[in-house]
């Protein structure tokens, strides 16, 4: 069955190009030219990936992204955000939109397809390392159900945030470089901006740390990468 992709983008030429390219690759593509239409389409069907432009007439892409993340039916769908060059990237980071990746305009169709493939490639369970749960103090990851609990409270994570946390917790007390994290979590490091790791670490800290500005669980090891304190 063809994988379904929803694109929300108000530039007609761009959205048509992206849709044509994805259809040629065998994906089933649905398009919306504004945020409200995008939300209705997102709500009425299930997709394997949603691509959102930030600047849209009416409901903007970041708001839409957060609405999708807060909807229990869609909270784990991979989301790629399209942004204009410059300050919007910081905006994505600052607003903790919950996207899995972002692409800065203008971008090539080849790069776009590569990023789409990364999101489509679900991490396959490693049978030799099969474990049902990862636990560290009051943090518990249910690997089978892909749920995270801090004490009794469930924490909602995006797919990539979950994979990142699982990778860090599997290797607790060891420093993981950004390159290693990209390879393990994103699986295809060439096309993903290294800053993506930093952005996801920041989002993760906001969700799991008691005080995100003074993180106790995920430490930054300057010039190297990150370490989960187990």
Q: Which stretch binds Ca ion (CB under 5 A): 8-16, 148-156, 166-174, 222-230?
A: 8-16
What is 124-145 written as a DSSP string?
PP-GGG--SEEEETTEEEETTT
Would you say 81 or 199 has its CB closer to Ca ion? 81
In the complex, least distance from residue 14 CB atom to Ca ion, rounded to whole angstroms: 8
Could you list the beta-strand ranges (E) of the chain: 4-8, 28-32, 49-53, 79-83, 101-104, 133-136, 139-142, 147-150, 153-155, 175-177, 218-221, 225-228
Interactions with Ca ion, residue window 99-138 (CB under 5 A): none
10 lies in the site for Ca ion, by CB under 5 A = yes
Shortest spacing between CB 17 and Ca ion, in angstroms: 14
- Closest CB 94 distance from Ca ion, rounded Å: 19
For the residues of 62-86, what is the DSSP string, one character each? HHHHHHHHTSTTTTTS-EEEEE-SS
Nearer to Ca ion, 53 or 167 (CB): 53
∠ CA 199-200-205, nearest 5°, is: 100
Pull the structure tokens for residue 49. 């990936």
Task: Return the number of the residue (8 or 182) whose C-beta is nearest Ca ion.
Answer: 8
Write phi, then psi, for 79 (nearest 5 degrees): -130, 130
Closest residue by beta carbon to Ca ion: 55
How far apart, in whole angstroms, are the C-alpha atoms of residue 230 and residue 228? 6
59: Cβ–Cβ under 8 A, 6 or more apart, which residues? 34, 35, 36, 38, 39
Least distance (Å) between residue 188 CB and Ca ion = 27
Residue closer to Ca ion, measured from CB, 10 or 96: 10
21, 44, 88, 112 from 14: Cα distances, Å:
11, 24, 19, 12
Residues in the interface with Ca ion (CB under 5 A) total 3
We find the least distance from the C-beta atom of residue 99 to Ca ion, in angstroms, to be 15
- The smaller minimum CB distance to Ca ion, of residues 86 and 223, is found at 86
Q: Which is nearer to Ca ion, 53 or 88 (CB)?
A: 53
What mask of x and - would describe binding to Ca ion in positions 20 to 59, judged by CB under 5 A? ---------------------------------x-x----
Residues in touch with Ca ion (CB under 5 A): 10, 53, 55
């Amino acid at each position: 069955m063809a994988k379904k992709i929803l694109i929300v983008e108000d530039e007609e030429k761009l959205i048509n190009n992206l849709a044509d390219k994805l259809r040629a690759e065998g994906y089933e593509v649905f398009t919306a030219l504004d945020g409200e239409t995008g939300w209705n389409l997102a709500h009425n069907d299930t997709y394997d990936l949603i691509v959102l432009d930030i600047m849209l007439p009416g409901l903007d892409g970041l708001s839409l992204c957060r609405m999708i993340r807060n909807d229990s039916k869609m909270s784990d769908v991979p989301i790629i955000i399209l942004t204009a060059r410059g300050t919007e990237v910081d905006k994505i980071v600052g607003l903790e939109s919950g996207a899995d990746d972002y692409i800065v305009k203008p971008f090539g169709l080849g790069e776009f397809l590569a990023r789409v493939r990364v999101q489509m490639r679900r991490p396959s369970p490693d049978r030799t390392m099969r474990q049902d749960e990862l636990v560290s103090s009051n943090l518990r990851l249910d690997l089978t159900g892909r749920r995270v609990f801090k004490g009794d409270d469930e924490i909602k994570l995006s797919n990539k945030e979950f994979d990142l946390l699982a990778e860090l917790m599997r290797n607790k007390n060891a420093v993981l470089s950004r390159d290693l994290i990209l390879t393990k979590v994103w699986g295809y490091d060439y096309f993903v901006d290294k800053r993506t790791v930093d952005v996801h670490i920041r989002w993760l800290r906001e969700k799991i740390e008691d005080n995100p500005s003074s993180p106790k669980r995920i430490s930054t090891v300057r010039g190297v990468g990150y370490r989960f304190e187990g």
